[in-house]
Amino acid sequence: MTESSEQQIELHGHPVTYHRVGSGPAVLLVHGITSSSRTWRSVMPALAEHYDVIAPDLLGHGRSAKPRGDYSLGGYASGLRDLLVALEVPAATVVGHSLGGGVAMQFAYQFPDRVERLVLVDSGGLGSEVSLVLRAATLPGAEYVLPLLASSPLRGAGAALGSVLGRVGLRASADVRGMAEGFESLGDAEARRAFVHTARSVIDPAGQRVDATDRLYLAEHVPSLIVWGDRDRMIPVRHGHDAHEHMPNSRLEIFPGAGHFPFNDDPERFVATLHEFIATTEPAAFDDDLVRRLMLRHRS
């Protein structure tokens, strides 16, 4: 992933930034809340050796526009559909991390004909538990506290910690680096506003309020892979095990010692796992009649 791979397109009057590298079957990488396409930088070069890799900055994140608008899962899913249409990509293997996992599931639900495979990485939307930090962001008045958390001293704390660890021969964990990048992204008032709107669309003070568990059976005929770090403190690994039970024919890969960003904790294993999954599965073929039969079979 390089600066030269960064491109921008205008959709519905709003600039959307994305990286696109490689050639082959399309792989769409969807980042999490407060992150951006750069969260995938440790795996994109290796993936680009085999695939047409597309990694956008969702609206409200990274270098994309941050308008007053729809920051729901459905809104994000529609934005991804529009991006693929604009790039003339008919379908892709969709890989979603954290919030991006919830977006990926919503995308598969709204636009099933555009999903060849579904990959959920430490995904949101699979249970109520979520970190206290994200729950606190939904409290009344959170928008007035965020400027303090995003102040220059705190934004620099993660980078400072990484520098200190580097001097003694250690590497900051992927979670520390990911959180530091998240705080850094909140230095902009428009980004903070988008963050609060996004968080409140899926979370309340009690936890995640959007749960896809009751519709996971619809993935029965979509090749699905679930990847989780067994030391995830943001979203518990139990959500991955539960999703695996609810998704017929899905695969589950647990990364020992990894946290919320397993693709950055162990990039080589992540790339190998994703490559093996794609190589050993056939793209899903959307069948409206099949979906209807599945839904009727699961009537309560």
Residues designated as active site? 98, 232, 260
Q: CA separation (Å) from 149 to 3, 76, 191?
A: 29, 26, 13
Q: Is the dihedral of CA 81, 9, 263, 35 positive or negative?
A: negative
Tell me the β-bridge partners of 252.
226
Give burial (CB, 10 Å; 0-12/13-18/19+) of 284. Answer: buried
> Tokens 């962001």 sit at which residue?
137
Which three-class secondary structure string do you get for 181-202?
A: HHHHHCCCHHHHHHHHHHHHHH
